[in-house]
Structure 1
Amino acid sequence: MQYRHAPAANHAALDAVLASAPGRPTLPVRLTVELAGRARAHLPVDPPLTVWDPCCGAGVTLTVLGLLGAGITRLVGTDADPEPLDLARRNLALLDPGGLAARAADLDALAARHDKPSYADAATAARTLVPASTPTWSVAVADARDTAAVRGALAGASPDDAGPDLVLADLPHGIRTTWAPPPARAAAADDGREPGGEFLRAVVTLLRPEAVVVAVGRGRTVALPPGVRPLERVRVGHRAAVLVRAGALREG
């Protein structure tokens, strides 16, 4: 994939500033910025922009967009698993006034306690970062397939209550997430072994037609329902992504 919206840069220091946890994979910083830039090029208007991550985990994707993406006014993270959401709140708090300074102080304390230069370098990075946006943000427990719960989490997500402009979802790993579950797999979906097609289908019902959905998965491609044409498809390493208009998915 040719990067058009994310110049090459060393993001190791930013990675060190962000809080993460073992077993919680995150999108690379440059790929996150590139996918968001491509999606914005398909939106009918320029900023302000509301972004929703329906499986936000530790909130790294949303925080990266707030730090490096201009014109973002609102970030909303939801996840069916409450465990990583404290990390998401810690990361998104970096966007608040004084958030990066507080993180730098914490990293300085870790550097002194453990005598690790890497912590000191991360503290320096935190002090030099200037967020490109100053969005409001919120995080809530909500299964993307539970439209009532998600609708509550998204309430007031945009100034006109029209809903998010952009959805960027790094789909759950280790399980197959599809737009429409094959009939033979319906029982498995019902007993919780895999999310089934309700996941992305439910996401689309909460969006205005012109909104753009970016779905990222592992493998060669992210499948779409028959007859639905993507705006773009990209592949980077072992990841594939599809950009698609919400209205096209509703009609598909």
Structure 2
Amino acid sequence: MQYRHAPAADRSALDAVLASAPGRPTLPVRLTVELLGRAREHLASRGAGNPGPVTVWDPCCGAGVSLTVLGLLCPGIATLAGTDADPAPLDLARRNLALLAPGGPAARASELDDLATRHGKESYADAAAAARELVPRSRPQWMVAPADAHDRAATRAALAGIAPDVVLADLPHGRQTSWAGATAAPATPAAPGDAGGDVGSGPHGSPARGRGSGTDGPAPGPPPEIAFLRAVAGVLAPQAVVVAVGRGRSVPLPPGVRALEKLRVGHRAAVLVRAGALTGR
């Protein structure tokens, strides 16, 4: 994939500053920024040029890393909304999003300095220095709340009148992120640099797909990704853009639904689709 909106850069300092939930991978920073840029292009194609400040919702927000990255690196964001079926990592999301407030980076640097003194770990001191260098490109309002994305009434209540223009969701995968109903380990902060190349997120909200055993079990239903995308689109305006990322060759769409874009980046696939196409509006 050719990057049009996210030039190559060393963003390892962000990995050190952001609070993460161990074992819960999220999107690489550069890919996160690129996907928002492409979504905004499609918003503009439905209007008159620049769509203006946008509202971004992550219905699989976990520790809020993707939302915080967007606020730190992308101008023109009015509101960031995060929901997740698992409430466990949401306190981490609030800590991360607090970086976007005036004084947020300085407060985080002070926390990291205290940890460096207490534990004698140089990685905390390095992260504190990185936090002091942060200057958010946007100062959006933000909210975080528990909600299963498949429960439209609960999701609408959690969003509390917020009207997302863009949805950015890293779909469940791996051993500790799964569709709602699976067991996941509790979220606990990791030391800076301990989480590897990707920083954390939590389990995501959508029903698990039924699976039978043997010849007498029920036939498998549609992929859970399809139910998730339809549910998310059901609380959006038709012109909103849904961006979903998964592991594998492609992200499944309902039959007959045409994507705005399909992308492959390493072992990840992404799809951009109009909300109205998912709901038939």
Question: What TM-score, normalized by structure 1, do the two folds share?
Answer: 0.89
1: CA distance between counterparts of 2:19 and 2:206?
29
Is the 2:72–2:100 Cα contact (8 Å) retained in structure 1?
yes
Partners in 2 of 1:12 and 1:205 — Cα distance? 36
Paired residue for 2:253, among 208, 224, 247? 224
Counterpart of 2:219 in 1: which secondary structure? helix
Amino acid at match of 1:212: V
1:2 corresponds in structure 2 to 2
Gaps of 5+ in 1: 158-162
For residues 141 and 223 of structure 1, what CA distance do their matches in structure 2 show?
Answer: 25
Equivalent position of 1:25 in the other structure: 25
Separation in structure 1 between the aligned mates of residue 158 and residue 71 of structure 2, nearest angstrom: 19
**Match for residue 87 of structure 2 among 57, 82, 90:** 82
Secondary structure of the structure 2 residue equivalent to 1:184: coil
Give the counterpart of 2:147 among 124, 142, 147.
142
Corresponding residue for residue 160 of structure 1: none
Q: Report how far residue 198 of structure 1 moved.
A: 3.0
Aligned to 1:233: 262
Residue matched to 1:210: 239
Q: Could you give the per-residue CA deviations for residues 85-117 of structure 1, whole angstroms, max 9, x where no partner exists?
A: 111111111111211110001111222233333
CA distance in 1, matches of 2:51, 2:129: 33
In 1, Cα distance between the equivalents of 2:86 and 2:18? 20
User: 1:178 touches 1:200 (CA, 8 Å); kept in 2?
Assistant: no
Alignment of 1:1-252 (within 5 A): 1-44=1-44, 45-157=50-162, 163-174=163-174, 184-186=219-221, 195=224, 197-251=226-280
| SS class of match (1:36) | helix
Higher RCO structure, 1 or 2 (CA under 8 Å, sep 6+): 2
Structure 2 distance, partners of 1:144, 1:2, is 31
Check conservation: 1:55, 1:79, Cα contact below 8 A.
yes
- Normalized per residue, the structure richer in helix is 1
Note the C-alpha offset of 1:154.
Answer: 1.4
Runs of 4+ in 1 over 6 A off after TM superposition: 176-179
Question: For the residues of structure 1 that align with 2:279 and 2:91, how far apart are their CA atoms?
Answer: 33
Distance 2:272 2:81 in 1: 19
CA shift digits 1:183-235 (9 cap, x unpaired): 8224xx9xxxx957432211001111111000000001001112211111111
- Paired amino acid for 1:129: L
1:9-43 CA-to-partner distances (Å, cap 9, x unmatched) read 11111110000011211111111001111111110
The letter of the residue matching 1:120 is A
Q: In structure 2, the residue corresponding to 1:43 is in which secondary structure?
A: helix
Contact kept in structure 1, 2:149 and 2:206, CA below 8 Å? no
**C-alpha displacement of 1:166:** 0.1
Aligned partners of 2:66 and 2:172: how far apart in 1?
A: 14
Q: CA RMSD in A?
A: 2.2
